[in-house]
Structure 1
Amino acid sequence: MADQEEDYSSLPLPDRATHRIWKVRLAAYDEMAKQFTTSPSDNDPCFRPFLSDPTIYKKIVTDSNVAAQEAGITSLVACLQYGGPNACQRLRGTVVTPLAEKGLVSMRAGTKQKTIDALLYFIELDTPDPVVEELIPILSNKLPKLVAGTTMALREIVKSFGTKTVSPKSMVKALPKLFAHSDKIVRAEATNLTVELYKWMGDALKTVLLPDLKPVQQKELEEAFENVKGKAPQQERFLLSQQQAASQGNGLGGGAVEQEEAEDEIDPIDLAEAVDISGKIPADFYERMGSVKWKDRKEAVDDLFKVVSVQRIADADFSELMRGLTKCIAKDANVAVVTVAANCIEAVAKGLRGGYARYKATVFPSLLERLKEKKQSVSEALAAALDAVFQSTTFSDVLEDILEFMKHKNPQVKQETTMFLVRCLRTVKIIPKAGEIKQMCDACTVLLADTSKPVRSAAADAMGTIMKMIGERAMTPYIDGLDDIRKGMIKESFETATVRAKPEKVAPPAAVAPKATAAARSGSGAPRPRTSAAGLKRSTGTPPTSSSRVSAAAEPAAVPPTTSHSRLAPPGARTSRIGAGSTGVARKRTDDHPSSPRMAGTSGTPPRGASSRGLTGVSLSTSTSSSSSHSGLSAAEKAELAELRRAREEWASTAGSLKKQVESLQADNLKLSQTIEELQLNNKQLIEDHTRDVLAVKAKETQLARARSEVDNARAHIGKLQSDLDSANNAAAAIQSGAVTRAEEIGDRDLNDGIRNVSPVSRTKSENLLPEEEKENGFAASAASRSASIYVSRSSSRAGSFSPISSSTAEGSDTGFGTGNAGSVESWRRAAEVTSQLKARIEAMKARQIRR
């Protein structure tokens, strides 16, 4: 109660605006709004405390009490409304973000509306970009209520000022994220903002936005777009700069956007971010484009198309890329490769737009020349590439090439080129010049007599489009000489043609006419004789001409000092000779022919056919009928008049010939320039081909050297293997012969031992047997059998394997002396078997050596 009873009115207003008691703040806000509203100007001292310290208003718009907050935002609106641009610029950077974050989420409808009004004033008093840049980051806030309120505020901004004033680029970029929000209120507000943007942007918005949305959302937006399609929006509020321009005479049409600006469509490319593709082109692109296999070239252009298929391309140097694609268009025999190459050119031209104009001279002739392809898919790709290239340049830049290829010997090229001309005429925004229209009509008139019907139809379409552009009356001179059938074809095309072109805006000549008149009046510094009233009136009413300036400059030479007025006027005439540039002689002609309506009175209009006047003021018309009107002139003046006429005719003929020469030289210069460009391009291509061929030759030489080295190594290896094989064969032969000889010796010795009786010597040898063998067998073996067994075992070990026959033979030979002759025969038989086994193993060893 003590706080409410205390009087705080003695405190300064800024202190009360930041007081801890909300009622004190509320009263301060109301008083602030009242002072701002009643202030005499935006420089009133009542604004100073709050503009010098913007943080005061930051606290005001974030007031914790909802009633005080609404009153504080109301005072902010009044401060902006009456404080002007100075208040806007001082408060904007500090206040906009907290104002949106606290005001747009308020539960009070009045607070929300006042917040939007304050934001609109921030835009109206200066520029919209800073305010929009402050609001866009809030769309990423985690609080759905704040995101929805900010989206609603952006919609009101677009609705009030339009996309011509407020750039929609940042809003369009944020829309996909809003449509993906989990809160349905946010998605609903995003839909409302999108529909409002569509009213201003048209189908350009669909091109940029819809591909990033879900199919269901796309369908909903399409339905919403259909409901507002065709409704032209009107700008409700205008920037202060626009209002000032309107007050100076450039009116804004009673609150509507200017018609010319309203008709301009927003380019979707302006809404997209530029992508730098120069570093994304495959490193082996040019190498694959030079491959002899069409599949390699097709894969190369396919990979390139994936890189260049973006809405906007950052400007860079694509000269080498365009030369490579142009070479593909001009020389590649595979239509699939040509089609994708044309698609790549179209994508780059659309992505660069105006920046692609410098490559036009490189690709344009090749595209037109390739129109000879009859396959529809190739023709469509080439036509789309031509249209994209045309969008990057002007009509005058492409017209010369079009007219040149309309004379091509191939009917397909003539037809497609003429159809391309029709597309250009229907999309160009400014009506071509009279000289260009004449060139087109002359070329189309020739094609109307072509033997191919499609060519004639295309020419008629071109003539009908030109007629739609310039009007039937202006087209009459070009179709007068045609027959009724061709005229009918042109009329049909004229009725169905649609054009966008308008006459080029030129400054009205009246703006410079007073200066020219003044210069003509003051053309001569010499004093002029006084004129009669009729002569003065006539001279001032006549528009200045170039001949009058010439006559004024040459006045001292035209009027001899001894000439009197009586020599120019008939007897009794109340007139005096006027100076150069006057109509003294013309007035005499009027006196001689008073019945002529052209000469009667004080009319300043010269007779038809009189293009200029000479030094004496006499018309230089070449008509023979005018000779009788100069009967009062002296012989010297007549001679001078004739001389002036002759000089004028010579000058006209000289000027005409010079003009033709200049035009011819310009055409020759242009052709030479094109020839130089083509030769330079061919030179570069030849250098590239030569470099590629040299590298290929070097690669082949390297491969050949490697192959020779491998052959030498193989030969050396084969020789080594051959020598090894020979050595093995010799060793095997030696082993075989030694084994046979040894076996025979053993066999003979065993046979003799078997026949011979056992002698004490044999018994003595038997005592030399190993003790192990004696213990194992329990009897003594014969020396012959034991020797054969030992040899066979050694031979088997040399061959690399153990022979089971050798052991059996040894066992068989150890039967003792009791066997007698039968044992010797058995030993011989076993020795023969050992020999055959040894031969077989030697053959196996040879085979293994050969395989190795």
Structure 2
Amino acid sequence: MADQEEDYSSLPLHDRVTHKIWKVRLTAYEEMTKQFTTSASENDPCFRPFLNDPTLFKKIVTDSNVAAQEVGITSLVACLQYGGPNACQRLRGTVVTPLAEKGLVSMRAGTKQKTIDALLYFIELDTPDPVVEELIPILSNKLPKLVMGTTIAIREIVKSFGTKTVAPKGIVKALPKLFAHSDKNVRAEAANLTVELYKWMGDAIKIGLLPDLKPVQQKELEEAFESVKRSTPQQERFLLSQQQTAAQGNSLVGGAVEQEEEDEIDPMDFAEAVDIFGKIPGDFYERMGSVKWKDRKEAVDDLFKVVSVPKIVDSDFSELTRVLAKCIAKDANVAVVTVAANCVEAVAKGLRSGFAKYKTIVFTSLLERLKEKKLSVSEALGAALDAVFESTTFSDVLEDVLEFMKHKNPQVKQETTIFLVRCLRTIKIVPKSAEIKQMCDACTALLADTAKPVRSAAAEAMGTIMKMIGERAMTPYIECQDDIRKGMIKEFFETATVRAKPEKAAPPATVAPKAAAGARAPGGAPRPRASAAGLKRPTGTPPASSGRSSAAAESAAPPTLSHSRLAPPGARTSRIGAGSTGVLRKKDDHPSSPRTTSASGTPPRGASSRGLTGVSLSTSTSSSSSHSGLSAAEKAELAELRRAKEEWLSTTAALKQHVETLQADNLKLSQTIAELQLNNKQLIEDHTRDVLAVKAKETQLARARSEVDNARAKIGKLQRDLEAKPAAAAAMPSSTGSRVDEIVARDLNDGISNVSPVTRNKSEMFLPEEEKENGFAAPASSRSTSAHVPQSSSRTGSFSPISSSTAESSDIGSGAGNAGSVESWRRAAEVTSQLKARIEAMKARQIKR
């Protein structure tokens, strides 16, 4: 006889959930699912044990038996589905991680699907960020099957809710590690997840992902992107908060579109910032100051390679932007200007809003250089202007744009107006009415310009403004134009595309009814109520209230109206009974309608057909005073409320205007401070540069003085040597006179040759012809041998400087030698003085240079 299985159904549900037998646990899970499904509300007692102890569900989703685990995860889905946000918030922190680690690696397809369903419910009932933050660390797990399952789950989350609901930044940062995984299945699922993200994000995902991948992977992804480029994803599931918004009458699809327009994905959020200061060449500023355009071109080319990064670390770029602005404004070479404009564009895009403080340095230089007609230059300048505009606001650039629209150069006016059109197409908020008026006035003036391209650009600008503010608001600006210009504006209006939307007006404040809705007077007719604005009054005759006393009438009056103000006696007002709130009868009231009676019960006479004139005053003094006081209090209260509202509106408008003025002043002061700081820094740099230049000049002057002193010392030495030689010659015997002449001539020639060849040649030019003949200007070839003094046949007869054997020849030679020696020294002194003067003049000229 087979053993009968023990019945565990009598055990409490909590004990069966934790029982060691898997079949007992399975039946407990099934019973939990049934209880959750049939629960009356989210606060049903069946949820309480599991919400108070979330570890029970942690044990359920990690059940060791795969069959029981699948049923247990099914019970979790039912708990979330019927337990609502409270169950989600209680279980999420404890259950999500073990659910993903055990459910996503199961061999059962049903278990995997139920796990993904549970994760989607955790997101739908609250917010996706906590769930995604729990799943991303699992992508670093060593188990490839778990990494692949988690990637599939994240892809389903993105597919169901979209990147407008699920923040994609953390997911994109984890993708490079998945593409580098050793398991091919993980890489394949990473590619599928990337394609799904591309459907929602577009090209924004390329900036943060593709640079880190291999070329083969980049090529495969590009092909996959191209295949889904035209697909438009739709959000399949919505958060509970979105569903509640839809229940109030708003369309989920329309709301998603508006959210998509307002919250566009910024590609720069996925890029890493780069510090470019350490990569700028050290001689960049020196080469930018070179007179050779090739050096400047190479400098800006090197800079462009450095700044061509998606995102730049914010730092002090004032000096760099100042150099680029000077190059754009003054450089004569258009190739250098083009690359400099590209550098400005790259820096502005890399810094984004951080470039706004440098706008005043480069913006006017870019606008001024728009006079270049070469297409490549104008395109580079336009791209730089667009990048600078993206870092600032429309109001910041409008003043400069309007000023350059009045420029004398037609090319500048045309390109500036085209830039204004590009700005109008990209802004998201309609400009202020004063700014619109300024733009329309400037464009109206350009419509009469002699250049056709300028007129066309002005018409395009006015058509874009009309598209933004509407035809009716644009009528005052175009009604004065002729038909041809109106036609041009209308053509551009029809083809213009803008993103700006007028600011939504606040809905009118509705005043709550002062009397209870549906309240009935004793006669059965609805009780009349005073209108919120005090202008409209309900039609129809109020019911009779003869049975009410004065106190009852006061108690029936609206509680918000004050009874402290009474109308003056004899006020000419016609009221309709004690129970009314000052409602006047209309002339077209039916005669048979019930009439309002006074407090004494006597109905007024002739009130059926004479309108206001047929309503009689009350005869009871006390009743009249009471009723008149109530009505006057109403009117006074309404008038006071109107005045208070008008005062509040005027005060609010004045305060808003004052705040805007203060903000504008604060912005201007900030810009002024930044400009002053930049100017101060420039002045300090200029002063330092001047000081260094002065020091360099002083050093050069000291060297020149030292050289002059050395030259003077050398000249003095030569002069002393020349002065010492005549004394030595006089002491020598007369027979050696000719020898002395030879020595003096040789020394003189050597001294002249030591000064400088140029000076020697010049001195020889100034020597008299007689001195040249006497041998003082001997040619250079004669210096290589012994110096010879030419003979004079008229004085000496037959004279030989070599032979002195005879006394006669000795006497003649001695006499001629003495006379020639004195004359030679005199002439040598004159030549020496001339040479000294010329040497001084040459030194003076060198110092001046």
Q: TM-score range by the shorter chain?
A: 0.5 to 0.7
Q: Distance in 2 between matches of 1:94 and 1:666?
A: 49
Q: 1:479 to 1:240 in 2, by over 3 A?
A: closer
Structure 2 residue 441 is matched with structure 1 residue 467: no
TM-superposed deviation, 1:412? 2.0
Residue 689 (structure 1) aligned to one of 667, 686, 690 = 686
Alignment partner, residue 202 of structure 1: 202
Q: 1:530 to 1:459 in 2, by over 3 A?
A: same
Aligned 8 A contact 1:252 1:258 in 2: no
Q: 1:436 to 1:214 in 2, by over 3 A?
A: same
TM-superposed deviation, 1:263? 3.5
Match of 1:375, as an amino acid? Answer: K
Q: Distance in 2 between matches of 1:172 and 1:691?
A: 49
TM-superposed deviation, 1:532? 5.2
Aligned 8 A contact 1:199 1:232 in 2: yes
Residue 260 (structure 1) aligned to one of 258, 274, 279 = 258
Aligned 8 A contact 1:80 1:121 in 2: yes
Match of 1:114, as an amino acid? Answer: K
What do the CA deviations read for 1:71-130 (whole angstroms, capped 9, x no partner)? 121122223333433433343333322222221122211101100011112212222112
TM-superposed deviation, 1:196? 2.5
Alignment partner, residue 531 of structure 1: 573
Q: Distance in 2 between matches of 1:131 and 1:669?
A: 43
Aligned 8 A contact 1:314 1:352 in 2: yes
Alignment partner, residue 555 of structure 1: none
1:162-173 pair list within 5 angstroms: 162-173=162-173
Q: Distance in 2 between matches of 1:393 and 1:520?
A: 49
Q: Distance in 1 between matches of 2:416 and 2:212?
A: 37
Match of 2:573, as an amino acid? Answer: T
Q: Percent identity?
A: 83
What do the CA deviations read for 1:760-780 (whole angstroms, capped 9, x no partner)? xxxxxxxxxxxxxxxxxxxxx
Q: Distance in 1 between matches of 2:283 and 2:271?
A: 29
Match of 2:380, as an amino acid? Answer: A
Aligned 8 A contact 2:58 2:95 in 1: yes
Q: Which moved more, 1:82-91 or 1:391-400?
A: 82-91
Alignment partner, residue 151 of structure 1: 151
Structure 2 residue 62 is matched with structure 1 residue 65: no
Alignment partner, residue 125 of structure 2: 125
Aligned 8 A contact 1:237 1:255 in 2: no
TM-score of the pair, normalised by structure 1: 0.61
SS class of match (1:25): helix
Structure 2 residue 27 is matched with structure 1 residue 30: no
1:733-748 pair list within 5 angstroms: none
Alignment partner, residue 432 of structure 1: 431
1:206-221 pair list within 5 angstroms: 206-213=206-213, 217-218=217-218, 220-221=220-221
Q: Distance in 1 between matches of 2:688 and 2:338?
A: 27
TM-superposed deviation, 1:293? 5.6
What do the CA deviations read for 1:710-743 (whole angstroms, capped 9, x no partner)? 99999999x9xxxxxxxxxxxxxxxxxxxxxxxx
Match of 2:692, as an amino acid? Answer: L
What do the CA deviations read for 1:34-59 (whole angstroms, capped 9, x no partner)? 33334444455544554454444333
Aligned 8 A contact 2:37 2:82 in 1: yes
Unaligned segments of structure 1, at least 5 residues: 541-572, 577-662, 720-852
Alignment partner, residue 269 of structure 2: 270
Q: Distance in 1 between matches of 2:711 and 2:43?
A: 102
Match of 2:686, as an amino acid? Answer: D
What do the CA deviations read for 1:213-253 (whole angstroms, capped 9, x no partner)? 55665555455445544544332322233344445x3x452
Q: 1:37 to 1:675 in 2, by over 3 A?
A: closer
Unaligned segments of structure 2, at least 5 residues: 514-530, 538-560, 577-581, 587-611, 616-659, 717-849
Alignment partner, residue 823 of structure 1: none
Q: Distance in 1 between matches of 2:367 and 2:139?
A: 49
Q: 1:476 to 1:701 in 2, by over 3 A?
A: same
TM-superposed deviation, 1:424? 0.9
What do the CA deviations read for 1:371-403 (whole angstroms, capped 9, x no partner)? 223333332222112111222232222222111
1:443-482 pair list within 5 angstroms: 443-482=442-481
Match of 2:352, as an amino acid? Answer: R
Alignment partner, residue 115 of structure 1: 115
What do the CA deviations read for 1:602-657 (whole angstroms, capped 9, x no partner)? xxxxxxxxxxxxxxxxxxxxxxxxxxxxxxxxxxxxxxxxxxxxxxxxxxxxxxxx
Q: Which moved more, 1:75-84 or 1:706-715?
A: 706-715
TM-superposed deviation, 1:154? 1.0
TM-superposed deviation, 1:165? 1.1
SS class of match (1:145): helix
Q: Distance in 1 between matches of 2:584 and 2:233?
A: 54
Q: 1:202 to 1:512 in 2, by over 3 A?
A: farther
Q: Distance in 1 between matches of 2:495 and 2:471?
A: 14
Q: 1:706 to 1:171 in 2, by over 3 A?
A: farther
Aligned 8 A contact 2:81 2:121 in 1: yes
1:304-703 pair list within 5 angstroms: 304-509=303-508, 517=533, 527=567, 529-531=571-573, 574=613, 681-682=678-679, 684-699=681-696, 701-702=698-699
What do the CA deviations read for 1:435-494 (whole angstroms, capped 9, x no partner)? 322222221122122233322222222123223333444434333333444334334433
CA RMSD of aligned residues (A): 4.7
SS class of match (2:167): coil
Q: Distance in 1 between matches of 2:712 and 2:50?
A: 101
Q: Distance in 2 between matches of 1:382 and 1:431?
A: 26
Q: Distance in 1 between matches of 2:278 and 2:89?
A: 43
Structure 2 residue 133 is matched with structure 1 residue 140: no
Alignment partner, residue 559 of structure 1: none
Alignment partner, residue 77 of structure 2: 77
Q: Distance in 1 between matches of 2:309 and 2:395?
A: 28
Q: Distance in 1 between matches of 2:661 and 2:174?
A: 57
Q: Which moved more, 1:422-431 or 1:174-183?
A: 174-183
Aligned 8 A contact 2:357 2:674 in 1: no
Q: Distance in 2 between matches of 1:205 and 1:419?
A: 31
Q: 1:144 to 1:435 in 2, by over 3 A?
A: same
Aligned 8 A contact 1:430 1:501 in 2: yes
Aligned 8 A contact 2:80 2:121 in 1: yes
TM-superposed deviation, 1:304? 4.2
Q: Distance in 2 between matches of 1:201 and 1:707?
A: 72
Aligned 8 A contact 1:368 1:413 in 2: yes
Q: 1:147 to 1:676 in 2, by over 3 A?
A: closer
Q: 1:236 to 1:348 in 2, by over 3 A?
A: same
Q: 1:219 to 1:285 in 2, by over 3 A?
A: closer
